[in-house]
Structure 1
Amino acid sequence: MSLFKRLLNPNYKSEEKAKRADKADHSSYYPEQKLPIDEKFTYNFKNNGGKFIYCENWEEILEGFDNILLENDWYEQDVFCVNEMLSKKFDGFNLNFTKNTDSKFFLSACESLVSNNGSILLSSNQIKEKKLKELPSNFIIFATTSQIVDTISEGLRNIKNQSSSYIPSNITTIQDFETEKEKDFMSYGSSTKNLYLLLLEDL
Structure 2
Amino acid sequence: MSLFKRLLNPNYKSEEKAKRAEKADHSTYYPEQKLPIDEKFTYNFKNNGGKFIYCENWEEVTEAFDNIMIENDWYEQDVFCVNEMLSTKFDGFNLNFTKKSDSKFFLSTCESLVSNNGSILLSSNQIKEKKLNELPANFVIFATTSQIVDSISEGLRIIKNQSSGYIPSNITTIQDFETEKEKDFMSYGSSTKNLYLLLLEDL
Aligned length: 203
The C-alpha deviation readout for 1:76-135, integer Å capped at 9, x for no partner, is 100000001100001111110001111000000000000000000000000000000000
Whole-angstrom distance in 2 between the partners of 1:64 and 1:2: 43
Post-superposition Cα deviations, 1:134-170, rounded to whole Å, max 9, x if no partner, equal 0000000000000000000000000000002100000
Scaled by the length of structure 1, what TM-score is found?
Answer: 0.86
| 1:187–1:19 Cα change, 3 Å | closer
Distance change (3 Å), C-alpha of 1:177 and 1:73: same
Would the alpha carbon gap of residues 95 and 124 (structure 1) be closer, same or farther in structure 2, given more than 3 Å must change? same
Change (3 A) 1:9 1:99: farther
SS across alignment from 1:176 = coil
Show CA shifts across 1:155-196 (max 9, x none).
000000000210000000000000000100121111000000
Distance 1:4 1:106 in 2: 39
Aligned-pair CA distance for 1:49 = 0.0
Match of 2:142? Answer: 142
SS in 2 for 1:92: helix
Shift of 1:52: 1.0
Q: Structure 1 residues 186, 162: CA separation in 2 closer, same or farther (over 3 Å shift)?
A: same
Question: Quick one: structure 1 residues 197 and 19, their matched pair in 2 at CA, closer, same or farther if it must change by over 3 Å?
Answer: farther
Greater C-alpha radius of gyration: 2
Deviates more, 1:71-80 or 1:15-24: 15-24
- Off by >6 Å, runs of 4+ in structure 1: 1-25
Farther-moved stretch of structure 1 (50-59 vs 21-30): 21-30
Secondary structure of 1:173 counterpart: strand
Q: Assess, with a 3 A threshold, how the Cα gap between structure 1 residues 155 and 14 changes in structure 2: closer, same or farther.
A: farther
Residues 195, 38 of structure 1: CA spacing in aligned structure 2 closer, same or farther, 3 A cutoff? same
> Aligned partners of 2:3 and 2:64: how far apart in 1?
19
Q: In 2 relative to 1, CA 191–11 (structure 1 residues): closer, same or farther, beyond 3 Å? A: closer
Q: From the superposition, tell whether residues 172 and 7 of structure 1 become closer, same or farther in structure 2 (CA, over 3 Å).
A: farther
Gapped regions of structure 2 (runs ≥ 5): none
Distance in 2 (CA, whole Å) between partners of 1:117 and 1:83 is: 26
CA shift in 2, pair 1:3/1:120, >3 Å: farther
Structure 2 vs 1, CA of residues 32 and 136 (structure 1 numbering), >3 Å: closer, same or farther? Answer: same
TM-score (norm. length: structure 2) = 0.86
Distance 1:46 1:21, change over 3 A: farther
d(CA) in 2 for partners of 1:84, 1:51: 24
Pairwise CA RMSD:
9.0
Change (3 A) 1:13 1:111: farther
Identity of aligned residues (%): 92
**Counterparts of 1:103-122 in structure 2 under 5 Å?**
103-122=103-122
| Structure 1: gaps of 5 or more residues | none
